[in-house]
Amino acid sequence: MDVFEKVKEIIVSELNVKPEQVTLEANLKDDLGADSIDAVQIIMDLEDEFGITVDEEQAQEMLTVKGVVDYIEANKK
């Protein structure tokens, strides 16, 4: 499974959105309705899934699904 598909699966699970809503261009807050608590849970799930660590500043910069995927691809082990 590629990074986007796994990220999509996590977002769908956490935010209870339809899979077709989760596109690379989707904004986590504006398009998918994530609040700060959702964002923290998604980050924790991503850290567990991909074996990465995301600091608060980096998390603030991940506004879109593409931003999340790009970060993971650049930092996964």
Given a contact cutoff of 8 angstroms between Cβ atoms, the answer to whether 66 and 25 are in contact is: yes
Beta partners for residue 36, in sequence order: none
Given a contact cutoff of 8 angstroms between Cβ atoms, the answer to whether 22 and 32 are in contact is: yes
Candidate list 30, 35, 55, 70, residue with the active-site label: 35
Residues in the chain, overall count: 77
Active site residue 30: no
Tokens 């650049």, located at residue? 74
Active site residues: 35
